Amino acid sequence: MMRGLWDRETVALMLLAAYLPLAALWVWFGGTDAVLRFGMAALVLVFWNLVFMLARAQPPSLAALVTALAIAMLAPEDLGAFRLALGISFGVVMGELVFGGWGRNVVNPATVALSFLGFGFPSFPWPDFVDPVAWAAIPTALIGIATGAMPAAVIAGALLVAVGATGIGLLPETALAAAGIVLVLLACDPVTSATTGLGRVLNGALYSGLVTLFAAGWTGAAPVQIAVAAALLTSLAAPVLDEAALALWVAKRRRRHGRN
């Protein structure tokens, strides 16, 4: 009879709105090159979404644009069209579309694509970000939290550990910019991050913890590479964190009520 707003496409639109400041500044400083990379990524994603719509009747989602932005911003540079297309295809098909499209995936397609490109073509340099772009992650996170499309607890957990690690000197400042951008682009994906309150805090904390660990022990790795690897491992761990949080919640309730 009456309908609310928060269906899948509204959430995708809210995410796009949140990423606008980040994307705008990145395009401002990246110029035509950035636009071309984004266009390329979007084209490949649209192609695969169309294929899956025709073959499996999976309605495409605007969230593909979010994926395109993340890949265009974070993918290694100078790959050339073919390698980039290969990486994106692997990421979006194996990471998202075979599971039934956005909302049913277990890992973020952008994370899969970026990891694939990073492992597959290790000789290409990872991108660097100028400071204004990194600062734009803050308004992005704020818009995401205000609209409820991004999990606030993930960001809170990540900040908590990051502040602590920076305070005792474990997390170098060079890694912070990339870690922040990857946090909002990949780790805060509402679908593949943890979904319970405690699970989300742990999820964010684990992300920051892994970034700290890699920054300390992974010699020769670029900041973006570190952050993407941390995001991949975190999203793989998210179901376990959720399961733990749920078990705790159920146990607490059982203690309180003597039943479920």
Closest CB to other proteins among residues 54, 168: 54
Instruction: Rule CB under 8 A: say whether 4 interacts with other proteins.
Output: yes
- Give the x-and-dash track for 35-54 against other proteins (CB under 8 A): ------------------xx
The amino acid sitting at 43 is L
What's the token pair of residue 144?
């995401």
Output the smallest distance, CB 100 to other proteins, in A: 7
- Range in contact with other proteins (rule: CB under 8 A) among 2-10, 71-79, 123-131, 220-228: 2-10
Closest CB to other proteins among residues 68, 96: 96
Closest CB to other proteins among residues 218, 254: 254
For other proteins (CB under 8 A), the number of binding residues is 39
What's the token pair of residue 143?
């818009």
Instruction: Rule CB under 8 A: say whether 197 interacts with other proteins.
Output: yes
Q: Which of 13, 94, 134, 198 binds other proteins (CB under 8 A)?
A: 198
Instruction: Rule CB under 8 A: say whether 118 interacts with other proteins.
Output: no
Instruction: Rule CB under 8 A: say whether 58 interacts with other proteins.
Output: yes
Distance CA 187, CA 203 (A): 8
- Range in contact with other proteins (rule: CB under 8 A) among 146-154, 155-163, 171-179, 210-218: 146-154
Output the smallest distance, CB 10 to other proteins, in A: 7
Burial category of 34 from C-beta neighbours within 10 Å (exposed 0-12, middle 13-18, buried 19 and up): middle
Q: How many CB atoms within 10 Å of residue 26?
A: 24
Output the smallest distance, CB 13 to other proteins, in A: 11
Whether the CB-CB separation of 210 and 163 falls below 8 Å is answered with no
Q: Which of 5, 32, 82, 169 binds other proteins (CB under 8 A)?
A: 5
Distance CA 236, CA 238 (A): 6
Distance CA 18, CA 24 (A): 11
Whether the CB-CB separation of 233 and 218 falls below 8 Å is answered with no
- DSSP three-state, residue 129: coil
Query: What is the distance between the terminal CA atoms of the chain, rounded to a whole angstrom?
Result: 34
- Range in contact with other proteins (rule: CB under 8 A) among 5-13, 112-120, 159-167, 212-220: 5-13
Whether the CB-CB separation of 127 and 175 falls below 8 Å is answered with no
Instruction: Rule CB under 8 A: say whether 253 interacts with other proteins.
Output: yes
| DSSP code per residue over 26-85 | HHHHHHHHHHHHHHHHHHHHHHHHHHHHHHH-----THHHHHHHHHHHHSPTT--HHHHH
Closest CB to other proteins among residues 45, 191: 191
Closest CB to other proteins among residues 87, 101: 101
**Which residues of this protein are in contact with other proteins, per CB under 8 A?**
1-8, 10-11, 53-54, 57-59, 100-104, 148-149, 151-152, 190-191, 195-198, 242, 245-246, 249-250, 253, 257, 259-260
